[in-house]
Structure 1
Amino acid sequence: MKNLYKQSGFTMVEMLMAMVILSIALIGLAKISTSVIRTNSFSESYTIATALAQDKLEEIMNLNFFNGALDDLTAANNSAAGLLSVAAADVQETQVDENGVAGAGGIFTRSINIWDRTDIENPATRKDIAVIVSWLDALGKTRKVTVSTIKSRD
């Protein structure tokens, strides 16, 4: 007589345990994927912001030292900390798109701070210039990139 209780295969409990373990692994994978997508989005915005700041800085550096666009309009940014402040900007362009076009509905704000550095013996000898590009990331946190340089009199 054959033993009816000796059958091969998986029991219902074994199948349920395998499904639970598989579900936990898939949830972990989904969280990692979400994190990778968010990081990729931040990296793209950071790269665009850096390019926008660098482009504007190069445009400014090509101007003559006495060009009116290089006037120091705000005394509030005339310090090392003030130069890096968005609140005390000499010029501010809002809604800059990834091509640098202002007012085009972009997510970036580009601020330009200029600090006329003078000494008693030689006035108006250099300008400290900072270009700050800020934006809101996917989590609503303000991010910014700052590029700065010193322009000496020609």
Structure 2
Amino acid sequence: MRSQHSSSNSAAGFTLIEMLVAMVIVAIGMLGMAGMMASVARASVFSKQMTNAATMANDKMEEAISVATAGSDLYAFYSGLIPNQICDPTNSYSGAVYFKNDATTGGGLIEGAAGDWDYRRCLEIQSAPAVSGITLTRISVKVQWLWNGKTKANGEPYSITLLRDVMP
């Protein structure tokens, strides 16, 4: 006599092979995500450094514009009041101001030295071409930085430059 139960082999659930394949697929996906997270972390550090550089450049530019529009002589102001604030990029950046990340202040910036720096700020002041007979002063602020202590592939530091022509 035959049994009343169905004799098909379609049991509910997953086989061991199916579970192993699923685990391998999930593991490969997670490895890809881990690599992507490292890339996002590097981009975040670069973004922070670029923001610091832009802030440093903008602060110095606003200071120089306020001095220029107040009628003060920029050359006299910076060479007399704050020595070495005007720098010469053709002469190994003599006069540049160097900054270093300070771990003791939670990542704030402290003044560094030419051989040990994370950021280098350079202020240049030049006579700009006259417009309609009005003499202008060209102010250039360049901030360079090392990304995690490294330069770009061509050996140059990363940089941002602000340039303004102001009427004294």
Q: What TM-score do the two structures reach when normalised by structure 2?
A: 0.64
d(CA) in 2 for partners of 1:57, 1:100: 18
Conserved 8 A contact 1:53-1:110:
yes
Segments of 4+ moved more than 6 angstroms = 70-73
2:116 pairs with 1:116: no
Give the length in aligned residue pairs: 138
The alignment partner of 2:121 has SS state of: strand
Gaps of 5+ in 1: 75-85
How big is the shift at 1:22? 0.5
Supply the AA of the counterpart residue of 1:144.
S
Unaligned runs of 5+ in 2: 81-85, 102-106
Contact persistence 1:91–1:113 (CA under 8 A)? no
The whole-number CA distance in structure 1 between the counterparts of 2:56 and 2:143 is 7
**Is the contact between residue 120 and residue 143 of structure 2 (CA under 8 Å) also seen in structure 1?**
yes
Asked if 1:51 is matched to 2:78, the reply is no
- Give per-residue Cα distances to partners, 1:61-99, cap 9 Å, x unaligned: 23213542279875xxxxxxxxxxx55657311225576
Which structure's CA Rg is the greater one? 2
Q: Name the counterpart of 1:148.
A: 163
TM-score of the superposition, structure 1-length normalised? 0.69
Deviation per CA, 1:77-128: give whole Å up to 9, x if none: xxxxxxxxx5565731122557664228762111122222366xx7x93321
- Equivalents in 2 of 1:57, 1:96: separation in Å? 20
Match of 1:65 among 73, 85, 92: 73
The residue number in structure 1 matching 2:112 is: 103
Distance in 1 (CA, whole Å) between partners of 2:95 and 2:118 is 17
CA-atom RMSD in angstroms: 3.4
Correspondence for 1:136 among 136, 146, 151: 146
Deviation string for 1:23-69 (max 9, x for gaps)?
Answer: 11101111221122112111111111111001111122232135422
Choose the corresponding residue for 1:22, options 23, 26, 41.
26
Q: Hey, what does 1:80 align to over in structure 2? A: none
Aligned residue number for residue 35 of structure 1: 39
